[in-house]
Amino acid sequence: MAEVRGKDRSSWRRWGDYAVGIVIEVAAVVTISLLALLVLYVVKVIVA
């Protein structure tokens, strides 16, 4: 029983790790997009 519970816990931990990984990847995309939009803003300010 203890072994089964241990396996369950490690499975939950693994899927938790995957979920954190997904959040980090989404955050990376948002950061890159915001950086690019900042470039646009700078160009607009310079051109104006």
Partner 1 sequence: MILRPTREDLKLIGWGIGRVILGVGLIMLVPLAVAVACTEWNTVLDFLVGIAACVAFWLLMENTCRVRGRDLTWFHGLVIASAGWLVAMVFGAIPHYLSGHFPSFLDACFDLMSGYTTTGLFLLQDLDHVSNGLNMWRHLLTYSGGQGIIVIALTFLFAGTSGAFKIYVSEGKEEQLLPNVVRTARAIWMISLAYLVIGSTFLFASLLADGMPAGRGFLHSVWLFMGAWSTGGFAPQNLNLLYYHSFIIETITLVIFVIGSFNFALHYAVWTRRRTEIFKNIEIRSFTITTIITTFILAIGFSKFHVYTTLTEFFRKGFYNLISGHTTTGNSTIYATSFYKEFGFIAMWGITLAMAIGASACSTGGGFKGLRMGIFTKSLWGDIKKIVSPESAVVREKVHHVKDIWIDEPLVKATMLVLISYVFIYFVGGLLGVIYGYAPSVAFFDAVSAGSNTGLSAGLTTPFMPTLLKVWYIIEMWAGRLEFMSVFALFGLAAATIIGRSGGARAR
Give residues in contact with partner 1 (CB under 8 A): 17-18, 20-22, 24-26, 28-30, 32-33, 35-37, 39-41, 43-44, 47
Runs of H (alpha helix) within the chain: 2-47
Q: Which residue has the tokens 């104006």?
A: 48
Q: Toward partner 1, which CB reaches closer, 1 or 48?
A: 48
Least distance from C-beta 45 to partner 1, angstroms?
11
9, 13, 19 from 6: Cα distances, Å:
5, 10, 20
Q: Toward partner 1, which CB reaches closer, 5 or 44?
A: 44
